[in-house]
Amino acid sequence: MVEIINPEKNCPQCGSANEVNSVRCASCGAQLATPTEMATINAALNAVDPEHRVEIAHFEVEQGEQAELACGMLRANGIACELSSPLLPGLPSERALWVNTSDAQKAQALLDEAESGSGTEKVDAA
């Protein structure tokens, strides 16, 4: 099973651990992040620099759910990723999973760990 690298966020007021997506501290109620800050963080994880990206996996179109899960796992670990769209609807094709070049090694390690622990069909590395 893959663990989120930073599953907790510490409160700046009381130091208590909170879930990473928390907006307010569960212990003292202090504000941890504004909704705008959370939206900015989430948007940043949905975009990969087209000039500095690398394909780390590809999925058959029928594996769309598996591709979305892989990308979601990477985003939960702070790695921005994108999935390419199939070239032409109705034709057999693949979806590529892209990450920034600087995150490629870490992303591939997470995918490999998930693959070895899940016992499901292998994700083809690019």
* Per-residue model confidence (pLDDT) at position 91: 61
Would you give the distance in Å from CA 49 to the centre of its chain? Answer: 15
Asked if 40 and 66 sit in the same domain, the reply is: no
Residue 1 belongs to a domain: no
Single-letter code of the amino acid located at 81: C
pTM above 0.75, yes or no: no
Asked if 87 and 119 sit in the same domain, the reply is: yes
Beta strands in 1-126 (DSSP E): 8-10, 17-19, 53-60, 81-83, 94-100, 124-125
The Cα 7–Cα 1 span in angstroms is 14
Domain residue limits at 33: 8-44
Q: Using H for helix, E for strand and C for coil, what is the string for 100-115?
A: EHHHHHHHHHHHHHHH
- What average pLDDT does this structure show over 22-30? 84
- The 10s digit of each residue's pLDDT in 54-91 is 999 988 877 878 888 898 889 888 899 998 876 666 66
